[in-house]
Amino acid sequence: MSASLQEKKQRLLEILRMEGIHDEKVLDALGGIAREKFIPDYLRQQAYENAALPIASGQTISQPLIVAYMTQELMVDDRMKVLEVGTGSGYQGAVLSKLCRRLFTVERHLPLMQRADELFRELGLLNITTLFGDGMKGWPEQAPFDRIMVTAASDKVPEKLLEQLKEDGGIMVIPIGGQEETQHIYRITRRGDDYETEILLPVKFVPLLGGIVHDS
């Protein structure tokens, strides 16, 4: 990494602290991932701006503050098995992989999944397993999960994902809301057949869609 990118990364981490990211493990995870690897080359110098950026397949890499915030609110530790719905660029998954025991990540766009899988291998993130598939269905063969993170907005909480949460204290963090309304991050905690819901930060995410897409 160039000196200027390293300086920009340090400034970004300071901004995240000022914005309320207090979990040092989360900050260390972001500090340990080269965000410039996950974006198009022409945007390299913008890698450590606190902004969402475009990637392939009409998708975006989330704003670092939102990545950090959702990761912090998911409350992950190194014993946990985590499901990520929406691999996208792979950046959020890379951050999560620094904090959990195993990460399973599902992406519906084949080119995105293939590129992310290459990056995970290149970066030595060997505790990540990828799947090209419909994220709204989760990954039932690997359920239950201690934690589930959804990186696209759903009109309502997908029942199939709730069913895949660990019964005793499993947590899901997911943006809820339509594209024409204010979306919010929800944190849902499972207690047996009961689910406790907390409404957190207002956000703007691309929609969570079913099905699979082979072309970019």
**CA-to-CA dists, residue 183 to 7, 9, 101, 174, 199, angstroms:** 33, 28, 30, 10, 10
* Closest C-alpha among 138, 93, 134, 89 to residue 114: 89
Pairing of strands 102-107, 194-203: unpaired
Q: Catalytic positions, please?
A: 62
Closest by Cα among 125, 137, 49 to 92: 125
Rg (CA), the chain: 16
Give the pairing type, strands 194-203 and 183-191. antiparallel
From CA 6, how far away is CA 69, in angstroms rounded? 21
Among all chains, which residue has been given the structure tokens 């900050």? 27
